[in-house]
Homo-oligomer: A and B are copies of this chain.
Amino acid sequence: MSFPPPGTTAHPAGEVDILIYNALVLTLEPGAAPIINGWVAIQGGKIAAVGSAASFGPPCPSLPPARRLLDAQGGLVLPGLVNTHTHAAMVWFRGLADDLPLHQWLHDFIFPAELRWLDGEKVFWGTLLAAAELIRGGVTTVADSYFYEAEARRALGEAGLRAVAAQGVVDFPAPGVPDPRDNLQVAGEFVESGRHFSPDLMTSTIFCHSPYTCGPETLQQAKALTRKQGLPFFIHLAETRQEVEELQKKTGHTPAAYLDHLGLLDELTVAVHGVWLTPADQDLLARRGVKVSHCPESNLKLAAGVAPIPDLLAREVTVGLGTDGAASNNNLDLFGEMSLAARLHKVWRHDPTTLPAAQTVALATREGARVLGLEEATGTLTPGKAADLVVVDLNQAHLTPLFDPYSHLVYAARAADVRHVMVAGRWLLRDKELLTLDWPEIAGRIRTGGRDLAAFCQNLGRA
């Protein structure tokens, strides 16, 4: 066997750190075909080369000499998934209260628990729990938006995930910010202290909860702070019909037009949900280059509605997928979001060709990286980008036979099929074992805390 075979990317001269071979490789570069008998070479935490070999002995002497080898055993190698929106520590509230009217769910359970039960340490441990679930589900990059975000950031750093951590801002008393007059100062200090983290792996920024929970000055000041530093700015937008109607009554604008009026819409703004965007709103977001995070499982569970994703894509708006928090989902599984997104928009449009599988996988990887402004670092298996990747085990009943790997990822695979996960060349999951997190300790802390939370809620009921 000659190496490299004709038509493959040449590998760089000399030794590489890690070679993953015997794989079906999806680079997610636009238009790239699946690579059969593929391999990925990793050097210094980055993708050094991607190619295919005519045949393999394990290890094949004519492959790039590597210090360590991973036989993918015929598995699927693709870029790690990008979760463009979650509130990680809300895993604490997973299944605490479901199937309730939105107002009752928020006011009787979530808000009291957030304000009077949650603290920084709980956010730290909850975020570690979320990180365990995210890694197991093949997520390598996560955008987290919550309170006590310095604690969340510490947990995401320990887990080894690539992350965009955004401190939450509302003009009401919030977890860790009892006096809302302090909210921008807390957020500013959070961004400032982000300098102590590796800029490669961790972005520290701001999440303004929504146009109806933040006043115009707060929105403008927060946006100015992030814009000055070239940081993404997160905001829930047009999630519910009620929110749109109330803001329209108050300001005469749709939420999107209102934010534009305040000067908040640009390429660095990530609008989360966007369920009730009008065609004019969609044109506006397209014109301003605003990015959209689509969270279908949460939107359905809360009966918020169905976001006009095919219309946004037709306008070339950059769209990624998100799980939202586990209080409203109740999982952090992007495979589930892919499956639901691809199916939901088909039935909504009465058209089975809507959101085909390959495009859906792109939303969960390449396009998600673009939503977060991380397209130079991650989202495709491209030489020079970080080695953020997952290996999916294809030797399973529900993934057999195999005709189209994109179809399998969207319509048949599940988070549990992820076997190995790497971020920046570092293994976070090997053979389904978490390498950066102590699961027994996390589980023990969460179970103890969960009993305490259940007692807190029972007392609420009595009060």
- Give A contacts to B, CB under 8 Å: 91-92, 94-96, 98-102, 105, 129-130, 132-133, 136-137, 297, 299-306, 326, 329-333, 336, 339-340, 342-344, 346-347, 349-357, 395, 397-398, 400-404, 407-408, 411-412, 414-417, 439, 442-443, 446-447, 449-450, 453-454
Q: Are A330 and B92 also in contact (CB < 8 A) when A300-B344, A346-B301 are?
A: no
Q: Are B95 and A407 closer than 8 Å at their CB atoms?
A: yes
Q: Are A414 and B411 also in contact (CB < 8 A) when A303-B347, A343-B301 are?
A: no
Q: Are A446 and B401 closer than 8 Å at their CB atoms?
A: yes
When distances are taken between beta carbons in the complex, the residues of chain B under 8 Å from A416 are 414-417
User: When the two chains form the complex, which single residue of B92, B303, B346, B412 contacts A94, counting CB atoms closer than 8 Å?
Assistant: B412
Given contacts A100-B352, A401-B450, A415-B416, 17 further A-B contacts (CB under 8 A): A94-B400, A94-B403, A95-B407, A95-B408, A99-B342, A99-B356, A130-B397, A132-B397, A136-B398, A297-B339, A300-B347, A303-B352, A331-B411, A332-B398, A397-B439, A400-B450, A403-B450
Q: Are A401 and B453 closer than 8 Å at their CB atoms?
A: yes
When distances are taken between beta carbons in the complex, the residues of chain B under 8 Å from A407 are 94-95, 98, 330
CA distance in complex: A330, B397 (Å): 12
Please give the distance in Å from A8's CB to the nearest CB on chain B: 23
Please give the distance in Å from A458's CB to the nearest CB on chain B: 11
User: When the two chains form the complex, which single residue of B411, B415, B446, B453 contacts A400, counting CB atoms closer than 8 Å?
Assistant: B446
Chain multiplicity (copies): 2
User: When the two chains form the complex, which single residue of B304, B347, B404 contacts A98, counting CB atoms closer than 8 Å?
Assistant: B404
When distances are taken between beta carbons in the complex, the residues of chain B under 8 Å from A105 are 352
- Could you list some 6 contacts between A and B, CB below 8 A? A91-B400, A129-B400, A300-B344, A300-B347, A303-B351, A401-B453
User: When the two chains form the complex, which single residue of B129, B344, B417, B453 contacts A397, counting CB atoms closer than 8 Å?
Assistant: B129
Q: Which residue of B lies closest to A449 (CB)?
A: B401
CA distance in complex: A320, B101 (Å): 26
Q: Which residue of B lies closest to A448 (CB)?
A: B401
When distances are taken between beta carbons in the complex, the residues of chain B under 8 Å from A297 are 339, 343
Q: Are A447 and B332 closer than 8 Å at their CB atoms?
A: no
When distances are taken between beta carbons in the complex, the residues of chain B under 8 Å from A453 are 401
Q: Which residue of B lies closest to A400 (CB)?
A: B446
When distances are taken between beta carbons in the complex, the residues of chain B under 8 Å from A329 are 411
Please give the distance in Å from A97's CB to the nearest CB on chain B: 8
When distances are taken between beta carbons in the complex, the residues of chain B under 8 Å from A414 are 333, 414-416
Name the residue in A302, A305, A336, A400 with the highest tally of chain B Cβ atoms < 10 Å from its Cβ: A400
Q: Which residue of B lies closest to A336 (CB)?
A: B339
When distances are taken between beta carbons in the complex, the residues of chain B under 8 Å from A449 are 401
Q: Are A398 and B346 closer than 8 Å at their CB atoms?
A: no
Q: Are B411 and A330 closer than 8 Å at their CB atoms?
A: yes
The 7 closest A-B pairs by CB, nearest first: A401-B450, A416-B416, A300-B343, A95-B407, A99-B356, A133-B397, A132-B397
When distances are taken between beta carbons in the complex, the residues of chain B under 8 Å from A352 are 99-102, 105, 301-303
Q: Are A357 and B132 closer than 8 Å at their CB atoms?
A: no
Q: Which residue of B lies closest to A454 (CB)?
A: B403
CA distance in complex: A81, B95 (Å): 21
Q: Are A95 and B303 closer than 8 Å at their CB atoms?
A: no
Q: Are B401 and A92 closer than 8 Å at their CB atoms?
A: yes
CA distance in complex: A106, B62 (Å): 45
